[in-house]
Amino acid sequence: MVVERVLGSPLRIRILLALWSMGEACASELARSLKTNYGRLLQSLQVLVQYGLVEERRVGRVRLVRLGGGEIVESLVRALIAADAVLEPGACRR
């Protein structure tokens, strides 16, 4: 299943959530903020870009990334944020 391949990595989910709050970010800055190495970040970004969840552009040697356009990406990230809030330890369960 494609969704498992794309979202089956905690780092990829963290990238989407970080880009939601950061907007556009330099890939090296994103790696630092997520406390991961640049190579690992690039591997995850490659998958997210391939499926249109993240867009990238280059300005000289700088790789800038941001969430992909479209309602599905926004809906997905909003759902991840909501799920994280509900699943947070100590959150009220029904």
pLDDT of residue 92: 59
pLDDT at position 94 over 60:
no
> What domains can be seen in the chain, in order of their start residue?
2-87 (1.10.10.10)
Task: Locate 37 and state its tokens.
Answer: 């190495």
Per-residue pLDDT tens digits for 31-89: 999 999 999 999 999 999 999 999 999 999 999 999 998 899 999 999 999 999 998 87
Prediction pTM value: 0.89
Report, in this order, helix, strand and coil percent for the chain, each rounded to 5.
Answer: 60, 15, 25
Is 90's pLDDT higher than 90?
no
